[in-house]
Structure 1
């Protein structure tokens, strides 16, 4: 799965093709695209916008303000509603009514209103009509609406009743679902409604149908062991006939064609339906429905999504199958095996019914209407077209789906899915046979808010994304981002093909003779090394015994990194030794001289291998400590480190010299002290216990204010500063003076101290990646800690053999 840079990254080509629109309004969630007119209508909170579909950000948009009045907002507050989210006019419906007008409905601060909008003038509406039968009160309720041949078909929870409903209004006879004790709809949450023109070229004179997709409580099942307090929720598909007129005496003003069936995805607990999209390819018989599912309520701690595909034939088969019946004795739904009256209950009026004298639903006999009233649920499930989900993906919630059918270079048509997530991403995928290959993942919103709506424009080759903060216009394809033949072919993007030099859009290429594309397998057409993007060699220099990480970032989540060291493959089992393979790259621990050489990282995917990174690793040997000529201040010089006898002699000599200096200084101090006591002017304070403190650099890096923070800026290497000792102050500064410190030891040469000019302040490296400072108070030569200082001197000399300064290293770890 290609993992390309998100919006806001360094990909300037991609950024130049992304357009954004937003205004003072919020919740840009209702979209209506009119391809022929080149207009994208957007229904938001308190406004309706008309955007140029070619470029929604060109500034030519027009706006209609439609806000809830202060009076209605005040009434909404009195109802106890939220004045930050609910007491506004959220536009929920925006549909083309006729050649000159749109029909729009909004929640209007919990008092729904609908209006007609003249698309030629685009003036604020002045005439409104009651919307409580057409639009939900609550903006958070699931809602779907269609205008079909002048009639409005909606489904939601109307008014303040908890029971949802499917209704038809406007020009045809108003119809609703039955409110019988069986509840045709059981706490339903609607997500989509789709018109299928089944009357076209029908051999039986069938009627057009509207299909509704929703999630509801499963009345046919007992509560699950995980949720005994309520019934589990299942996905449903229901249908009604467009020309249904209701019954004459029974089911007056009610649907006589309502039936529902379970929409199965065959994954346990994937029962919450999020969105549905349909494609027909120009013939309703080829209609397929793509549905996105998530986990049911008791599993919401896990983020998993599934995608299933359904053929219209499977849906029809379920509605033509066996009915279910509610058994009062067991209080459960079970399969109905009794006699079914004629004409078949729930069917549309066909030529067969007309021959029997039933020209409309009002002519149906009472036996049929009574049966429909008690048997709205079908026994057969609607099964996925391939028997299993096309895609199951963890750690993501798909909220929206839109599909484009594309003809590829091999002449076949492929369905390209655009999937919006709950945290502001778009996943682009292609359906290949019975599986889904994710082409790329794009972060389209910086803030993690959900994608609320998706619409595809084939004419503009754009994807429009509606969200809380605004509308985005994205290209359907960005072939130019693939820099090599391998990248272009491995992506398996039906929009793209490799022409030998670059990855190009098929739609923009007249001569496709030399194009290479392999959507079906994703590994054909790239045969030589010239098809790979060139990689620049990088140098790494380390000391013998150190660790080094060689990064190898994979552009594809499906690729597997393989390493060659001087032509030899690094096997995964070698991770138990000094080579460790990980997602970040190759970690080499405790490097040796023989590890020097060339390291090549390849991305291996679907049988293809592409070079990603090249490193030239140089492991330096341990450097000997140089000898220094004797000077007047240093009559002795360090012997070579391998001569341990001479080194021991030097240590003894240094200690002897320092001990002599301390003895002389002690005599002087004793003499001065006795002299001052005789004069009565000065007195030595009580001796303070000396202390040795070991402190990490990280603690000193933290800002503490005062002079410490100011001193940090003086150290270019970070926060490596020597902190003064913390011995208690003398009792009376006005009458006492601190003791005279002993003279410092003889200075060491600069190259020996590695830039640290004084002792006993010494720097030690710990575990290769952290530093510690040794802090030691001034103390008389008789202190028992004097031996500790000698040990530290010995340690730093020993550490010297692990320190090597190399000039002008290229990305060195030293």
Structure 2
């Protein structure tokens, strides 16, 4: 893939040179959004979400003020003026547990597939909506009464109208009572364009040529070409999709390796199929390549159509991304197509598969009459062909073998309107706005794969991106976009919910230059603020410059003084002077005492950056006035102004305030008092340690006088003080559980146990090995001084500490033996145990 990157840039350069008009600059091929609006800076944004997910199917009825939303397991009716006003109504349409269990048995994903994803939501008549859902891989359709908005008990089979898999591309329209859908139906997952309800059911042909080759549908559009048609033409439904290009392979049976290309197909509304040939099949189906001329093959993502009241003015806006071969590069393009160019392709020559050369080529033979793929017109009726079932067999045979047109549909001006790198466009919606100059401008709202909205305006043959808006805090693709002219709102459908945004936020532009440079057709400057055109009854005082974005503001606006700030720095130090640019298209220009700062001025001491001006190794001559201007589209606006002062040497620090003492006392006396306090504290601590040492030695001497122990050669290095509290209150210790009967102690329960001295371990560490059996307890008459010891001797001066606990309640037990008998038993068990001569100080 990396080897293809240079080829990509070469192709892009070639397209820029050959395919684009000379008036287009390189900047136009990768437009930068002028303003970036983050999630926290959104203005007048309203959100709706509920217990459901995947709010992807939107149906707006602007005149009724209702936005219908089809989600996973539910259908919502929202107030289009404010979708967050809690007045919504809900139809629950969840999958039954039985159907979900059957879905799991089919091996489907219980997290994504075994639910009811509402894919179709269309107005059927004045009282009912028609809705279809995947229903855990068993599609169902139903009628919803918009008055009571409840789910009926009757459902229709939806396998001919809705996909099984919610991930498959789908598009559907209800036209004059008939349902026109395009998707992959049933488990075979073969793509198909079908018509159901009201009229005869029709499908596409499944001949070896395959009219549709692994097609992924994105949109369908009704164009009423019969209205005021002088030739008595029929209305047509145009389908937009991406499929594998069979004409670019050497065999019709080897299509898996064919590249994917964008297509547009059309069928006639009143097509009823053939009589003997193409029975229940389309007789008007033809398709053509939809080219956008970005490098390599394009993948179609979405299409939006506009017209100005006459079908001849219909314009299609389509967004493309690069095919899978270029998946490592994020590039999107926007192309515009006129209906006249689309019709010209369908009226041109056909393509034919040649068995001899095993490839597709232009058909040069005779074309039968009536023209294959065309609708029934007045001329056909005069010849006796009143419906498609009257067409001759040679016409139907020709249609069956020649579904592809030779000419491709070219974009307006033969080039994309916009090529955007580092962005994947997923949805597009277009609004038409009349500017102050009387011209009609198309405003594009482009949804991205990471939850952003790009708002752009088409100015002649280029696209200017007004702003980029972070619609969702969490990254998620934009699944649907709908524009409300009446509410002046944009509705955004996504996985987590629905977002309502105003079509414009003119109050975001604070100055005349900012309002003019935005080139937003919704906004104009009234002399004091940037206003919405729709709010102004008298527009004669408004200023707007859509073509140039630079005319209308007086010179005084450019010299409006910013807040003056002072900066002080020592000579030789560095200082940063911030200058934030509100516009991504603006460039910062710095003037120092009236002289412009260049990138390499003054031996590199001035560093120009996106966040401001960095002055390094400041000198005395750097003092003065610093002004930062924003230059955009030939206009210059003051953004920040500083007065910089460079000091020759460091200021002498002020002395600290002195403490006042009473008369007769000098500061040295206070120092002597503090010394006395420290000495007293140390003396007290030393005395405490001395008392503890005397007590311990006294206890040891008492034991020697009783003759209970005979001192020998020490084997242990220290003596450990340990509290054995489990032997008190009638509870057995760990040693008792192991079979050693230690007895119970009537008082303090303090024992001196031979062993290594250890510090207290943290609870997370492993417990130390069990100590040897303890020596006999102290007699009652020698324990009076023990309770006077503190409970804890804390770690001081690096020595370890040992916890000493005393039980205030005497230990009583009916099994208590005399001290002499108990001592004899323990000495017999521990006859090899010796006490050390000297205590280790670190263990106390």
In the superposition, the TM-score normalised over structure 2's length comes to 0.73
The one-character-per-residue Cα deviations of 1:470-506 (angstroms, maximum 9, x if unpaired) are 1111100111111000010000000000000000011
Match of 1:752 in 2: none
Alignment match, 2:378: 351
Q: Does 1:213 align with 2:240?
A: yes
Residue in 2 aligned with 1:294?
Answer: 321
Shift of 1:113: 0.2
Equivalent position SS for 1:405: strand
Residue 6 (structure 1) shift:
2.1
The residue aligned with 2:39 is: 7
The superposition leaves residues 694-741 of structure 1 with CA deviations (integer Å, 9 ceiling, x where unpaired) of xxxxxxxxxxx99xxxxxxxxxxxxxxxxxxxxx999x99679xxxxx
Q: Measured at CA, do residues 228 and 564 of structure 1 come closer, stay the same or move farther in structure 2, by a change above 3 Å? A: farther
CA separation in 1, counterparts of 2:651 and 2:630? 41
Q: What's the counterpart of residue 406 of structure 1?
A: 433
CA offsets, 1:400-448, max 9 Å, x none? Answer: 1001000000000000001111111111110000000000111010001
| Pair 37,612 (structure 1): closer, same or farther in 2 beyond 3 Å | same
Are the structure 2 counterparts of residues 733 and 570 from structure 1 closer, same or farther at C-alpha, using a change threshold of 3 Å? farther
**CA contact under 8 A between 2:55 and 2:497: conserved in structure 1?**
yes
Report whether the alignment pairs 1:252 with 2:279: yes
Q: Per-residue CA shift, 1:298-351, capped at 9, x if unaligned?
A: 111111110000000000000000100012233221111111101100000111
Matches within 5 A, 1:21-60: 21-60=48-87
Aligned residues: 631
Larger Rg: 2
Q: Tell me which residue corresponds to 1:305.
A: 332
Correspondences of 1:259-658 after superposition (within 5 Å): 259-269=286-296, 271-530=298-557, 535-574=562-601, 577-623=604-650
Q: Which string of whole-angstrom CA distances, capped at 9 and with x for unpartnered residues, describes residues 33-53 of structure 1?
A: 001111000000000000011
1:196-207 matched pairs, under 5 angstroms: 196-207=223-234
- Greater displacement, 90-99 / 528-537: 528-537
Deviation per CA, 1:529-580: give whole Å up to 9, x if none: 2367652122222222222222222111111111111111112343971112
Q: For 2:608 and 2:195, how far apart are their aligned partners in 1?
A: 62
| SS, match of residue 273 in structure 1 | strand
Distance 2:560 2:840 in 1: 76
SS at match of 2:248: coil
**Structure 1: gaps spanning 5 or more residues:** 629-704, 707-727, 737-814
Using the TM superposition, give the Cα deviation of residue 231 of structure 1 relative to its aligned residue in structure 2, in angstroms.
Answer: 1.3
Checking the alignment, whether the CA contact within 8 Å between 1:492 and 1:519 is kept in structure 2 is: yes
Cα distance in 2, alignment partners of residues 626 and 278 from structure 1 = 73
Q: 1:592 to 1:518 in 2, by over 3 A?
A: same
Q: Distance between the aligned counterparts of 1:229 and 1:320, measured in 2?
A: 30
Match of 1:162 among 181, 189, 192: 189
Distance 2:839 2:153 in 1: 87
SS across alignment from 2:345: helix
Trace 1:64-79 onto structure 2 (pairs within 5 A).
64-79=91-106
Indicate if the aligned counterparts of 1:465 and 1:471 stay in contact, CA closer than 8 A.
Answer: yes
Q: Give the aligned partner of residue 63 of structure 1.
A: 90
Equivalent in the alignment of 1:174: 201
Q: Match of 1:220, SS? A: helix
- Structure 2 CA distance for partners of 1:575 and 1:40, relative to 1, 3 Å: farther
In the alignment, structure 1 residue 80 sits paired with structure 2 residue 107: yes
Q: Deviations over 1:587-624 (max 9, x none)?
A: 22221111111211111111111111112222222349
Is the Cα–Cα contact under 8 Å of residues 486 and 532 in structure 1 kept in the other structure? no
Q: Distance in 2 between matches of 1:83 and 1:603?
A: 55
How far apart, CA to CA, are the structure 1 residues paired with 2:39 and 2:561? 26
Task: Kindly indicate whether the alpha-carbon contact (under 8 Å) linking 2:558 and 2:638 is maintained by their aligned counterparts in 1.
Answer: no
Instruction: Give the distance between the partners of 1:189 and 1:563, measured in 2 at CA.
Output: 53
Q: The residue matched to 2:413 in structure 1 has which SS?
A: coil
C-alpha displacement at 1:56, in angstroms?
A: 0.7
Q: How does 1:183-194 map to 2 (within 5 A)?
A: 183-194=210-221
CA shift in 2, pair 1:270/1:579, >3 Å: farther
Deviation at 1:104, TM superposition (A): 0.2
SS at match of 2:63: coil
In the alignment, the residues of structure 2 paired with residue 184 and residue 229 of structure 1 have an alpha-carbon distance, to the nearest angstrom, of: 15
Residue 106 of structure 1 is matched in structure 2 by: 133
Other-structure match for 1:783: none
Contact 2:115 2:134 in 1 (8 A): yes
CA RMSD, Structure 1 to Structure 2 (Å): 2.3
- State the shift of 1:527 in Å: 2.1
Aligned to 2:151: 124
Q: 1:627 to 1:213 in 2, by over 3 A?
A: closer
**In structure 2, what is the Cα distance between the partners aligned to 1:48 and 1:627?**
73
Change (3 A) 1:88 1:601: same
Q: Does structure 1 conserve the Cα–Cα contact (< 8 Å) formed by 2:260 and 2:297?
A: no
Q: Against the structure 1 CA distance between its residues 626 and 617, is the aligned structure 2 distance closer, same or farther, given a 3 Å change threshold?
A: closer
The alignment status of 1:242 with 2:269, answered yes or no, reads: yes
Residue segments in structure 2 that go unaligned for 5+ positions in a row = 1-32, 656-761, 764-797, 801-837
Could you say if the C-alpha distance between residues 538 and 200 of structure 1 is closer, same or farther in structure 2, counting changes exceeding 3 Å?
same
CA contact (8 A) 2:558 2:636 kept: no
Contact 1:483/1:533, CA 8 A, preserved across alignment = no
- Taking structure 1 as reference, are residues 29 and 96 closer, same or farther at Cα in structure 2, changes over 3 Å only? same
Deviates more, 1:429-438 or 1:558-567: 558-567
Question: Does structure 1 retain, via aligned residues, the 8 Å contact 2:259–2:297?
Answer: no
> How far apart in 2 are the matches of 1:217 and 1:539?
66
1:427·1:440 contact (CA, 8 Å) conserved in 2? yes
8 Å Cα contact 1:399-1:421 kept in structure 2: yes
Superimposed CA distance per residue, residues 266-298 of structure 1 (whole angstroms, 9 cap, x where no aligned partner): 111351111000001111000000000001001
Q: Distance in 2 between matches of 1:613 and 1:33?
A: 46
* 1:90 equivalent in structure 2: 117
**CA displacement, residues 337-391 of structure 1 (integer Å, 9 cap, x when unaligned):** 1111011000001111111111110000000000000000001010001211000
* Cα 1:551–1:342 shift into 2, 3 Å: same
| 1:212 aligned counterpart, secondary structure | strand
Q: How far apart, CA to CA, are the structure 1 residues paired with 2:313 and 2:553?
A: 35
CA–CA distance in 2 between the matches of 1:405 and 1:558?
A: 25
Task: Supply the distance in 2 between the matched residues of 1:176 and 1:624 (Cα, whole angstroms).
Answer: 89
Q: 1:570 and 1:162, CA in 2 relative to 1: closer, same or farther beyond 3 A? A: same
C-alpha distance in structure 1 between counterparts of 2:109 and 2:129, whole Å: 30
